[in-house]
């Protein structure tokens, strides 16, 4: 048996066992927090290490979040569906 053969098996196994640890570490690093709009039953988890509250959204009831460098904006809001939109019609 050559010395190369064990490495062909060992490397994929190491990668297989290391990947879940990296995935588990990621949520903690992003510091996920929940934002809620109780009157509409809206609850969204957002990465608080990326976004900080920066005021109200342009429409609806909720919060606007912005990245520290100002390059990204996240608006979480709820509003009445007076037009009876479906997800498809809302995106048009």
Q: What is the mean pLDDT of each run of 10 residues along the chain (92 residues)?
A: 53 52 62 93 94 93 95 93 90 84
Q: How far apart are CA 43 and CA 56, in angstroms?
A: 16
User: Does 11 map to a domain?
Assistant: no
Contact present, 56 and 37 (Cβ < 8 Å): no
Does residue 16 belong to any structural domain of this protein? no
Assess if residue 29 is contained within a domain: no
Q: Give me the pLDDT at residue 13, please.
A: 47
Q: Considering the domain boundaries, does residue 35 fall inside one?
A: no
Inside any domain, residue 74 = yes
Residue at 37 is within a domain: no
Residue 69 within a domain: yes
Domain ranges, residue 67: 48-81
Determine the Cα–Cα distance for residues 68 and 15; give it in Å rounded to an integer. 34
Give the number of domains in the chain.
1
- The whole model's pTM is what? 0.61
Per the domain annotation, does 66 fall within a domain? yes
DSSP secondary structure string for all residues of 20-70: HHHHHHHHHHHTEEEEEEGGGTEEEEEETTTEEEEE--SSSEEEEEEETTS
């Amino acid at each position: 048996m050559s010395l190369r053969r064990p490495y062909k098996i060992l490397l994929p196994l190491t990668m297989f066992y290391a990947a879940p640890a990296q995935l588990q570490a990621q949520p903690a690093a992003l510091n996920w927090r929940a934002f809620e709009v109780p009157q509409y039953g809206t609850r969204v988890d957002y990465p608080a290490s990326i976004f900080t509250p920066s005021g109200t959204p342009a429409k609806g009831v909720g919060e606007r979040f912005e990245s520290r460098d100002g390059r990204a904006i996240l608006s979480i809001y709820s509003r009445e569906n007076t037009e009876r939109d479906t997800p498809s019609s809302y995106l048009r």
